[in-house]
């Protein structure tokens, strides 16, 4: 059991990728931007530490019982990444920009303006733009179903995202 | 316990444990949105 340093949650901002189409179930359709790490649509996503990410040679190679027990930690790159500030760049579908509430173990990288958290729940998205990605209509359809299942707000720009998320973080 | 990192090339600066009293879930967020706002006490007017 972890002894909390403080109560509450923190807010972060990040980019996801929507997996379009019927061939991937809705529950598996919100993914990390750069590799296939599915985010839960029913509850908080919990970080785990795959052995190949472990940078600390003193760590065991495989934790069979509690794979996320120490994620994230100093000696690793694992965890759920988010930035402290809203992402201003426009990301066309299948990418979507949004915000999370994060909690649990949190490793802060202030110099690089991001943190890695143990648990996170998406709470809002910036309305995505159709771009050059494949199947933009299917991705858009999936996106709105994902947002609905998460109960996430869809806002129009990064400023609104910040305003909404900062109110939301104070409720917990 | 808040830890301060002292070594390594990729430098995380601080580690902490943050825990809400109740963990947010989509369902709990929805419940809170739909719950009626607490009634405000009527302002007392001076006699």
ipTM score of complex: 0.79
Chain A residue with minimum CA distance to B2? A5
Out of B5, B26, B32, closest to residue A171 by CB: B32
- Comparing C-alpha atoms, which of A128, A149, A154, A124 is closest to residue A12? A124
pTM of the complete model beyond 0.80: yes
Closest in A3, A121, A151 to B17, CB measured? A3
**Token pair 């990605």 is at which residue?**
A133
Q: pLDDT: is B36 or A69 the higher one?
A: B36
Chain B residues in contact with A9 (beta carbon < 8 A): 18, 20, 24
Mutate to test the interface with B, among A1, A74, A123, A145 (most CBs of B within 10 A): A74
Question: What is the pLDDT confidence band of residue B26, given thresholds at 50, 70 and 90?
Answer: very high
């Amino acid at each position: 059991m972890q002894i909390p340093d403080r109560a509450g949650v923190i807010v972060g901002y990040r980019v996801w990728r929507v997996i379009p189409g019927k061939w991937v179930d809705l529950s598996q359709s919100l993914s990390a931007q750069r590799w296939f790490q599915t985010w839960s649509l029913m509850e908080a996503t919990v970080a785990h530490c795959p052995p190949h990410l472990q940078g600390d040679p003193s760590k065991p190679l495989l934790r069979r019982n509690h794979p996320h027990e120490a994620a994230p930690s100093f000696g690793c790159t694992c965890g759920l990444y988010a930035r402290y500030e809203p992402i201003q760049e426009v990301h066309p579908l299948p990418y979507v920009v949004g915000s999370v509430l994060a909690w649990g173990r949190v490793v802060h990288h202030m110099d690089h303006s991001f943190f890695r958290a143990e648990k996170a729940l998406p709470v809002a998205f910036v309305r995505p733009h159709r771009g050059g990605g494949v199947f933009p209509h299917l991705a858009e359809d999936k996106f709105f179903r994902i947002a609905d299942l998460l109960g996430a707000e869809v806002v129009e720009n990064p400023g609104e995202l910040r305003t909404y998320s900062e109110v939301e973080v104070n409720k917990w | 316990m808040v830890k301060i990192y002292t070594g390594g090339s990729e430098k995380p600066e601080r580690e902490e444990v943050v825990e809400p009293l109740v963990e947010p879930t989509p369902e709990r967020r929805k419940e809170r949105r739909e719950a009626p706002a607490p009634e405000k006490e009527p302002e007392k007017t001076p006699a």
